[in-house]
Structure 1
């Protein structure tokens, strides 16, 4: 396989260390960081250590003992995305974070939400439900084929009733990176909030909410950030906190100060819930620190360069189509094989020792509908992957295609 460009070069010692601390690589070739990332040893140890502490002391007692470390998680997540500690709320998933924020927007009948064709199923279904209940209109940007071409069209579609611009930084089903830095100016001086779904970008790309200009951001712990499953977080800036009214409150998000009176928190934790896995929260913090220790900008460059090698190799195989478009592409590579369902590719790859994933039309109706695809296969390459991993996968896929051609 080709060598990576010099600008993204990591030393052999660094790659060896990254692979040594990633246990799944002992038995598998993990190329599914867009689905579930591979937790490094420090994250696993952090979670297990706290569970053992809970077993020894009790859950509340262990949490009290780790209160400083829990506070540090908020500071680390804020540093990861360029916000402040009071802007961060922790959830059990990116979807929970996204829904909690959107359900807190004070919509009025006739308000509009503007999305692209790249939005994820859970997000769209939540908006459709809101539309049914409160007469909110969902405006879907017609696909232009490129993310860059969508920015001007988004501005053209905004009206004085557009209350929310909800955009996926990187979609679930393609490696396209949306030029989000161009979007903050569309909402900064409007009565409209900008919510960025950074589920696939946090941990893979450097994020600065101030530079982007988003009012809210949601992210998963389990993907490129390499945190535990069952974790997610949100950035909620002051503009959003001034406008949002949480639909549900509990003893974490508010104080019951009189028999008929309550007082929500002032910070982003007003969207949180009391009950959560403290072990997982600490693991999420360990994952954030681990990513920043490696350098997120370096990670992003390596992911993109590895993916470029994979795209070239896939495009050279008979019957394979690569579906990523745009000038800026990430470590996710989306492809299909003529005459073969994505599920069959994923299953065969799994039997051969490769962890890959797929996106169904049920996950991305607008985008895959535009492509007339029921599903696409996808790989998510991270900094611990190598050109040799990609070469081995391409060799497997070539043999798989040849075998199916003969049968």
Structure 2
């Protein structure tokens, strides 16, 4: 059967593929030459013309990137804002909600990203509100049926990290969306690990807000993120900070933009946004379905290999799995696993409790090693990573 993606060509167009084996795509992936060229070309333009002068002619090009971004997730361009990080995007939307009051409730999935959770927890503590964890099903995923039974008139938000940072689980975000839509409760999705890895359709998900960072599986530059805000939900959000783009003063009155750019600052990096645009165009050209299929095959092979190694324990949960493969080696801290593999020019991640505190605590885990697979990886790289982990485990 013919490979759907020309992986050899894609690797040749990715400078980082020649410098070692990269299995940290859930942290930050390797940019393509096209992404690098988009950034460099614009920076040269700034250097020659002046940054402000160069920016004066970029509006139409930036809107093309916005349209491509919207198409990638099934949104309208007016529902897309560009920000500098996923945390900044999520925090901007959360802080724009009506203030919490005593007795209010926020419901979260067990795998909620630690940064989101910290933001909610601090706000809830100030107001006398509380954060409650939605029960998990037997496979560890969020239980939408249990969520439905938790809904009352004090629930102000449901927040879900779709693909958690500490394992291969893919939560049923659409099932949660059906519950929240029926109850009329705001629904935020953290799609940081989903963008560029699995198909996203915001209408099917039923979310009001979705944020994702560019640097992970999408292979866009660091310092780029997207914020989707459903158009009909936008009037319910009042940003806590504004500038002359998002909320100019007109006749003495602040005039909010009527699109998602009310969360966007006037000062952005066009170079990085053009890099983001190049990454999005490539993902759309390759096809998210083909990307998903290749990642699924490679990560399944890695899990099969690790499962057969003594002293190695897979830590993934869920029925539907992503390209994030988490594991531990008996008696070896995850940071040491990462360092030992780095000596072999194999890059992986290592996560501790702060990344996903509710889930790590529930499962009694202090740390996990995280090998995240891209369509750029190869079967031979999977084998070499597996052998390296086996060598380490034999020394325990």
- Normalising by the smaller structure, the TM-score range is over 0.9
RMSD of aligned residue pairs (Cα, Å): 1.4
CA–CA distance in 1 between the matches of 2:347 and 2:3? 23
- Of 271, 276, 287, which residue of structure 2 is paired with 1:279? 271
- Of 327, 336, 339, which residue of structure 1 is paired with 2:331? 339
1:70 lines up with 2:92 in the alignment = no
1:47 lines up with 2:43 in the alignment = no
CA–CA distance in 2 between the matches of 1:133 and 1:251? 30
Contact 1:107–1:136, Cα closer than 8 Å, also in 2:
no
Can you list the C-alpha shifts for 1:334-358, whole angstroms capped at 9, x where unaligned?
1001110000000011110111001
Q: Which runs of 5+ in 2 are unaligned?
A: none
Task: Give the CA deviation at 1:58.
Answer: 0.9
Structure 1 residues 264 and 322, CA gap change in structure 2 (3 angstroms): same
1:155 lines up with 2:142 in the alignment = no
1:235 lines up with 2:239 in the alignment = no
- Of 374, 391, 396, which residue of structure 2 is paired with 1:399? 391
- Of 97, 109, 112, which residue of structure 2 is paired with 1:119? 112
Contact 1:107–1:163, Cα closer than 8 Å, also in 2:
no
TM-score by length of 1: 0.94
Structure-2 residue corresponding to 1:3: none
SS at match of 2:156: strand
CA–CA distance in 2 between the matches of 1:146 and 1:106? 35
- Of 167, 173, 176, which residue of structure 2 is paired with 1:180? 173
1:312 lines up with 2:304 in the alignment = yes
Structure-2 residue corresponding to 1:252: 245
1:197 lines up with 2:181 in the alignment = no
Aligned length: 395
Matches within 5 A, 1:381-392: 381-392=373-384
SS at match of 2:6: helix
- Of 200, 211, 224, which residue of structure 2 is paired with 1:207? 200
Task: Give the CA deviation at 1:246.
Answer: 1.0
Structure 1 residues 312 and 221, CA gap change in structure 2 (3 angstroms): same
Task: Give the CA deviation at 1:387.
Answer: 1.1
Task: Give the CA deviation at 1:242.
Answer: 2.2
Contact 1:227–1:283, Cα closer than 8 Å, also in 2:
yes
CA–CA distance in 1 between the matches of 2:180 and 2:137? 21
CA–CA distance in 2 between the matches of 1:195 and 1:80? 18
Task: Give the CA deviation at 1:229.
Answer: 0.3
Task: Give the CA deviation at 1:146.
Answer: 2.2
TM-score by length of 2: 0.97
SS at match of 1:43: helix
Q: Which runs of 5+ in 1 are unaligned?
A: 1-5
For structure 1, which segment, 333-342 or 158-167, has the greater mean C-alpha deviation from structure 2 after superposition?
158-167
For structure 1, which segment, 282-291 or 85-94, has the greater mean C-alpha deviation from structure 2 after superposition?
282-291
Contact 1:131–1:138, Cα closer than 8 Å, also in 2:
yes
Task: Give the CA deviation at 1:258.
Answer: 2.6
Contact 1:163–1:191, Cα closer than 8 Å, also in 2:
no
CA–CA distance in 1 between the matches of 2:151 and 2:291? 35
SS at match of 1:188: helix
